[in-house]
Amino acid sequence: MLEEHLYDIASKLSDAAFFRINRQCIVQRQFILNASLYSGYRLQLSLTIPTSEELIVSREKVCAFKQWLVQDNPQQGRRGKIR
């Protein structure tokens, strides 16, 4: 078990590579396969690696997440990752 709070861990990571999608989870950009619409204006993420939990972007973070996801590659939002 980690001794640090997720907020403290997130503050040490690169903003360009990592995003805190909700209160429990931080994701790394390179492992995101796609993001699809989920109930209540949220997004569900699929990763290139298997996960045991659903990865849901909270309502409050959806707009910032979309901007973060396409910040280095504007084409991703139109043709790939966000569906």
74 vs 23, which has greater pLDDT? 23
pLDDT (tens digit, 9 = 90+) per residue, 25-55? 999 999 999 999 999 999 999 999 999 999 9
Q: How far apart are the C-alpha atoms of 11 and 72, rounded to whole Å?
A: 20
Tell me whether residue 49 is in a domain: yes
Q: Which domain holds residue 33?
A: 6-79
Q: How far apart are the C-alpha atoms of 26 and 9, rounded to whole Å?
A: 9
DSSP class of 16 = T
Count how many domains the chain has.
1
The pTM is what? 0.83
CATH number of 71's domain: 2.30.29
